[in-house]
Amino acid sequence: MLYKTLSAAVYGIDANIIEVEVDVSGIKTTEDHFHTVGLPDAAVRESRDRVRAALKNCGYDIPPTHITINLAPADIRKEGSGFDLPMALSIVGAYGGLTRKEVPDCLFVGELSLDGGLRSVRGALPIAIEARGKKIARIVVPEANAREAAMVSGVDVYPVKSLLDVIHFVNSGNGIKPVKVDGDTLLSESQHFAVDFKDVRGQQTAKRALEVACAGGHNILMIGPPGSGKTMLAKRMPTILPPFIFEEALETTKIHSVAGVLDQGAGLVGVRPFRAPHHTISDAGLIGGGVIPRPGEVSLAHNGVLFLDELPEFPRNVLEVMRQPLEDGTVTISRASMSLTFPSRFMLAAAMNPCPCGYFNDRSRDCHCSPVMIQRYIAKISGPLLDRIDIHIDVPAVNYKEMRSSSEPETSAQILGRVMRARDTQLNRFASLKREKLYCNAQMSPRYMRTYCELSADCESLLERAMMQQGLSARAHDRILKVARTIADLDGVPAIMPKHIAEAIQYRTLDRTFWA
């Protein structure tokens, strides 16, 4: 007898609907003939043992007959353990254990434990989105994945704990009600941070640079001695970034769901991600990879911040692979069997010491590094990568008076207010360019810079002198204009003024001490 159910397979951050076909012959054999076809990977092939044990422990002792399972379409590779549930359900249906001959309006996904319980799977959110796109009204998922899948409106998501729950659900409904989640309410409840800029004493120049960076979505590099507060400042960047809108949160959650790092209790990434990989990370870990490619850190930081501490300690080949995502906002991973593109529009925040010992130009401690050692240390970061970092800021050591000052530093909420006003200005500016998906100044292409970054004669003269004297590249020229546009937005003025250009140039010249 033949029985069919619907499931789904995840590729990249999207899902494809898979039809699970089970054929059971009436011929009994002395051997176990259980075949899975349709390009299954090892996890799918191993599901036969999980399925048999789960069925047995749920009271369905399957006789040793010929069981053939086809995962259609057969030309797409299937991976993961999410097919356990539809396979087991189809076997029960093929033996006549279900009252319905077919369930075309419902999609099933879940991993079975040996006692028939259901474990969570990766990619529940993209699966729910694909189900909605294919007009599938209902989706049955493990209870741990229910909140995540319920973020998609237009699909009824039913949480189940075991295979028996699913069988009873198909036969009688079993009283299981769909999960309802209000995504906007969940987003507003998520806006809480354990850190705040009021904890940072001193470092007014660095705070100003971070405010500019967050206001325009610019990449930033902090250079300073150990203990000056670079990491402390970077960890507080998400507190002054604009809150997620629901579409951004959904897109980011898809990536985290596919990667298997989503907090199942939350069901949604409610705050902008902050990823801080160790400098021993591989290029595949940073960009993504695998036989079937999975997202790396640059994609997990999508719509958030990627923080690289001790930047020169990262292998050079790892840093160089960031050029494409920094420029394009996407990363494409090609393999012999497939090519997948992951979104990776993030803010890069990096920190480094000015020299190997860390105390070059420090007022309180002597540096023991020779000029050759310093140049060799800085040369670990290529010029093209530095050109893609809009702001280079010096973060000196904080002196005793600043640390013990009685004056209260600005809070993240106060800084966020100015950042939000600048972002609103940019959104209004780019409102007519919806197809381009421009949300901040850092995303402007040269085409739009000519329109929105017009310069007066004084500004032109100042920028020309800086370009000639400091040997800045064409890309650095564009970065200066974008940063100057953001500074003008923070000041609330429509035109870029010489003081805005001067401040933007200052953020490009701090490194000249090292690269000159």
Confidence label for 31 from pLDDT (cuts 50, 70 and 90):
low
Q: Give 352-396 pLDDT, tens digit per residue.
A: 998 999 888 888 888 889 989 988 998 888 888 888 899 999 998
Measure CA 276 to chain center: 12
Q: Are strands 274-275 and 305-308 parallel, antiparallel or unpaired?
A: parallel
Which residue has tokens 């990989």?
Answer: 277
Q: What is the mean pLDDT of residues 176-195?
A: 84
Q: Give 311-327 pLDDT, tens digit per residue.
A: 999 999 999 999 889 88
For residue 412 the two structure tokens come to 């993240």
Confidence label for 48 from pLDDT (cuts 50, 70 and 90):
confident
| The pLDDT of residue 30 is above 60 | no
Determine the angle formed by the axes of helices 457-470 and 474-491, rounding to 10 degrees. Answer: 140
Contact 176, 98 (CB under 8 A): no
Report the helix count and the strand count for the chain, using DSSP H and E.
23, 18
Q: What is the mean pLDDT of residues 240-267?
A: 89
Pick the residue with more confidence: 266 or 241?
241
Q: What is the CA radius of gyration of the chain?
A: 28
Among 185, 14, 7, 23, which Cα is nearest to 111's?
7
Confidence label for 412 from pLDDT (cuts 50, 70 and 90):
very high
In this prediction the pTM is 0.89
Which residues sit opposite 17 in a β-bridge?
Answer: 8
Rounded CA separation 449/10 (Å): 39
| The pLDDT of residue 267 is above 60 | yes
Contact 355, 367 (CB under 8 A): yes
Can you give the residue ranges of every domain in the chain? 2-172, 189-430
**Which amino acid makes up residue 2?**
L
Q: Which helix or strand (DSSP H or E) is residue 254 part of?
A: helix 246-259
Rounded CA separation 95/329 (Å): 51
Q: Which helix or strand (DSSP H or E) is residue 306 part of?
A: strand 305-308
Lowest mean pLDDT among 9-23, 190-204, 407-421: 190-204
| The pLDDT of residue 264 is above 80 | no
- CA torsion sign for 103, 107, 111, 117 is negative
Please give the torsion angle defined by the CA atoms of residues 93, 96, 99 and 103, in that order, rounded to the nearest 10 degrees.
Answer: 20
Contact 124, 109 (CB under 8 A): yes
Rounded CA separation 358/246 (Å): 42
Among 228, 109, 215, which Cα is nearest to 159's?
109
| The pLDDT of residue 255 is above 70 | yes
Q: What is the mean pLDDT of residues 52-68?
A: 87
Of the options 3.30.230.10, 3.30.413.10, 3.40.50.150, 3.40.190.80, the CATH number for the domain spanning 2-172: 3.30.230.10
Q: To the nearest whole number, what is the mean pLDDT of the chain?
A: 89
Confidence label for 40 from pLDDT (cuts 50, 70 and 90):
confident
Rounded CA separation 212/302 (Å): 20
Among 123, 107, 110, which Cα is nearest to 13's?
123
Among 39, 4, 414, 446, which Cα is nearest to 198's?
414
Largest CA distance in the chain: 91
Q: What is the mean pLDDT of residues 216-236?
A: 93
Domain 2-172 and domain 189-430, same fold? Reply is no
C-alpha pair distances (Å), 27 with each of 23, 63, 89, 336: 12, 10, 21, 41
Which residues sit opposite 222 in a β-bridge?
Answer: 351, 393
Which phi and psi angles does 488 have, rounded to 5°?
A: -65, -40
Pick the residue with more confidence: 336 or 49?
49
The number of residues in the chain equals 516
For residue 274 the two structure tokens come to 């902050």
- CA torsion sign for 247, 267, 9, 276 is positive
Q: Give 295-310 pLDDT, tens digit per residue.
A: 999 999 999 999 999 9
For 189-430, CATH number? 3.40.50.300
Confidence label for 433 from pLDDT (cuts 50, 70 and 90):
confident
Looking at residue 28, what is its pLDDT? 63
Pick the residue with more confidence: 450 or 286?
286
For residue 217 the two structure tokens come to 């979505």
- Contacts with 60 (C-beta within 8 Å, 6 or more apart), sequence order: 92, 95, 97
Rounded CA separation 88/325 (Å): 42
Contact 346, 209 (CB under 8 A): no
Confidence label for 35 from pLDDT (cuts 50, 70 and 90):
confident
| The pLDDT of residue 510 is above 60 | no
Q: Is 31 exposed, middle or buried (0-12, 13-18, 19+ CB in 10 A)?
A: exposed
Please give the full DSSP string across 434-468, using - where no structure is assigned.
GGGT--SGGG--HHHHHHH----HHHHHHHHHHHH
| The pLDDT of residue 425 is above 90 | yes
Confidence label for 514 from pLDDT (cuts 50, 70 and 90):
very low
